[in-house]
């Protein structure tokens, strides 16, 4: 507020008072001059697309597209390849499954890597298609916004915390799928939408994401389903925490620190499994 106690006015519309401010440059902005981003909310100038980067917005999600999202497409290709091997070359696929699926009694025996490698295995065509569709739709735009290495850190950390949560809550359980990592992407988008909830687009984004998450979480509790809701929950928490960390001033300026946020959470999740 200024000396008279009035609210600041939008830098582009001096006649409009506002409580919003760009998380990048700090200038006050009205609802028409703010854009939701993965690391906060930005004014129009700060949100202008740079080469290889665009503003995080649900319109881009609906359009989808891989672009230059190397990590997103690599994770997608690896998951499809592993699934194909299980059908086309059963001996190889079975050997990979025996080594990589998350069977918690074996995790308890020290095979900690299973909380990570389980993300590349899927229990059926529908399971694979849903997860890969979500990765294709929600992953590339987030990766272009924050960078490939920070995105990889978020993806791995979400898979790790999802697997660790399933391990702690289902000690004798078995699980496969990239759902923990996918829910990490949902968590990052949800945090970005929450940050921009005071704008028309941000409010709409938040409603859409909450509806999508609500449907997926309810499915995990329906009778007869075999969905590892614990992994979903862990991944969602991981993605939200990392997206929140990305809004810190130091992490907004340093891609290396954004990578470190994912690496640190992965280490915590795996370390907890090893200790327990």
List residues with catalytic annotation.
179, 232
DSSP string, the chain: --TTSPPPB-SS-TT-B-S-B-TTT--B--GGGEEEETTEEEETTTTSPPTT-----HHHHHH---TT-HHHHHHHHHHHHHHHHHHHSHHHHHHHHHHHSEEHHHHHTT-TTHHHHGGG--SSHHHHHHHHHHHHHHHHHHHHHH-HHHHHHHHHHHHHHHHHHHHHH-TT-EE-SSHHHHHHHHHHHHHHHHHTTTSHHHHHHHHHHHHHHHHHHHHTTSTT----HHHHHHHHHHHHHHHHHHTSHHHHH-HHHHHHHHHHHHHHHHHHHHH-
């Amino acid at each position: 507020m200024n000396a008279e106690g009035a609210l600041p006015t939008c830098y582009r519309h001096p006649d409009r008072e506002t409580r919003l401010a760009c998380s990048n440059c700090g200038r006050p902005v009205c609802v028409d001059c703010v854009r939701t981003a993965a690391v906060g909310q930005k004014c129009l100038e700060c949100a202008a697309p740079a080469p290889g980067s665009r503003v995080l917005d649900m319109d881009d999600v609906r359009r989808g597209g891989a672009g230059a999202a190397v990590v997103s497409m690599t994770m997608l290709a690896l998951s499809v390849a592993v699934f194909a091997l299980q059908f086309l070359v059963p001996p190889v696929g079975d050997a990979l499954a025996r080594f990589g699926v998350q069977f918690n009694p074996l995790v308890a025996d020290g095979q900690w890597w299973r909380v990570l490698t389980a993300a590349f295995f899927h229990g059926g065509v529908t399971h694979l298609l849903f997860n890969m569709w979500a990765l294709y739709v929600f992953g590339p735009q987030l990766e272009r916004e924050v960078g490939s290495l920070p995105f990889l850190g978020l993806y791995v950390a979400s898979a790790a915390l999802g697997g660790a949560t399933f391990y702690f809550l289902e000690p004798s359980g078995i699980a496969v799928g990239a759902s923990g990592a996918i829910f990490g992407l949902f968590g990052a988008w949800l945090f970005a939408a929450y940050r921009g909830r005071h704008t028309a687009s941000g409010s709409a984004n938040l409603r859409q994401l909450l509806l999508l998450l609500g449907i997926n979480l309810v499915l995990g509790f329906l009778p007869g389903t075999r969905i590892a809701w614990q992994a979903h929950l862990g991944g969602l928490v991981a993605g939200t925490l990392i997206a929140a960390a990305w809004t810190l001033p130091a992490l907004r300026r340093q891609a290396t620190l954004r990578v470190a946020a994912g690496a640190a959470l992965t280490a915590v999740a795996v370390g907890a499994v090893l200790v327990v």
